[in-house]
Amino acid sequence: MTAENRISLSRHENKLTKSVKMYLRDIKGVIGLFILLVFIVMAIFAPVIAPYSPDTMTDDVLQSPSLNHLFGTDHLGRDLFSRVIFGTRISLSVGFVAAGLSAIIGVFIGSFSGYYGGATDDIISKVIDTFLMIPAFFLILIIVSIFGSNIMYIMLVIGLTTWPRNARLMRAQALSIKEKTFITVARSTGESNMRILFGHVIPNGIFPVIANSALQMGGAILTEASLSFIGLGDPNLTSWGKLIYQGRPYMTYAPWTIVIPGIFVVLAVLAFSFIGDGLQFTFNPKNKGEK
């Protein structure tokens, strides 16, 4: 490694620690991160944390929350606390996979469109704008109801319908980055367009997409919950939304069956929007230095 490289690397690290410090200054972002970490631990160690098997039916049906059953039991006598813990796995993975897919598609299309410009860009950005206006939830609902409600389909469809916002953010970044001096330098040294795109444009412009992805993870969790609630969730898996769906017929005498899973959805979406806004705050060039 040459000295020059090392300097630029340490400068990069410096920037990273600065960004982390900046992020930690925002209390909402810290809270969001904390909630998310708790959920991730819950998802990974679900079998350890959950006191009962989530699917074991007992005769203690619709018991209200007690020390034995922290969140009570459902209509088949299953322990709701354990079911919620295991539900974290489904809801979180939907969030991560769907938003991740959306980010990947958005970054590719957006950076390509912004970097190459011209007629390609005109057409792509028109398409992006149009897709942005289409009500995504309905499209997802129709596709899932026709193609089947396998969890893979659900994640795929959410990802495939929510990428335009990422594409728009990435496109704007690419448009401004390609005018920067270091891109001109890279071009004049004969670097190929593909290398410039993947080596410079995307790494330097991806931050807004990352921030938006956090928000979209929350959105994906909401979408999955809504699908499950109208009975279009994966029939073999129990997400938080599914728990609400299952609890609904009994809600008047066992309100905990719907209230508790709902609180978890709210907390997850809240965490993601805190994180997303925190990231946006961190990466906003206006906030550099003061405050």
Q: Which residues bind another protein (CB under 8 A)?
A: 28, 126-127, 130-131, 133-135, 137-139, 141-143, 145-147, 218, 222, 225-226, 229-232, 241, 244, 248, 251-252, 255, 258-259, 262, 265-267, 269-270, 273-274, 290-291
d(CA 224, CA 239): 8
- Whole-angstrom CA distances from 42 to 182, 228, 278 are 45, 21, 23
Q: What is 86-127 written as a DSSP string?
A: HHHHHHHHHHHHHHHHHHHHHHHHHHHHHHH-HHHHHHHHHH
Which residue number, 93 or 149, has a Cβ lying nearer to another protein?
A: 149
**Which among 267, 226, 218 is positioned nearest to 84, based on CA atoms?**
267
Q: Identify residue 282 by its one-letter amino acid code.
A: T
Which residue number, 51 or 231, has a Cβ lying nearer to another protein?
A: 231
> Are 204 and 82 spatial neighbours (Cβ–Cβ below 8 Å)?
no
Residue 149 beta carbon to another protein: minimum distance, rounded to whole angstroms = 10
Q: Find the length of the chain.
A: 291
Residue 268 beta carbon to another protein: minimum distance, rounded to whole angstroms = 8
d(CA 112, CA 53): 48
Residue 203 beta carbon to another protein: minimum distance, rounded to whole angstroms = 30
Which residue number, 207 or 250, has a Cβ lying nearer to another protein?
A: 250
d(CA 242, CA 238): 6
Residue 157 beta carbon to another protein: minimum distance, rounded to whole angstroms = 11
- Whole-angstrom CA distances from 178 to 92, 115, 119, 144, 202 are 36, 6, 17, 39, 10
Residue 230 beta carbon to another protein: minimum distance, rounded to whole angstroms = 6
Residue 278 beta carbon to another protein: minimum distance, rounded to whole angstroms = 12
Q: What three-state secondary structure class fits 79?
A: strand
Which residue number, 168 or 178, has a Cβ lying nearer to another protein?
A: 168
Residue 218 beta carbon to another protein: minimum distance, rounded to whole angstroms = 7
Which residue number, 20 or 259, has a Cβ lying nearer to another protein?
A: 259
Which residue number, 159 or 241, has a Cβ lying nearer to another protein?
A: 241
The residue assigned the tokens 């367009």 is: 193
Q: Which token pair is 115?
A: 């970097």
Which residue number, 59 or 290, has a Cβ lying nearer to another protein?
A: 290
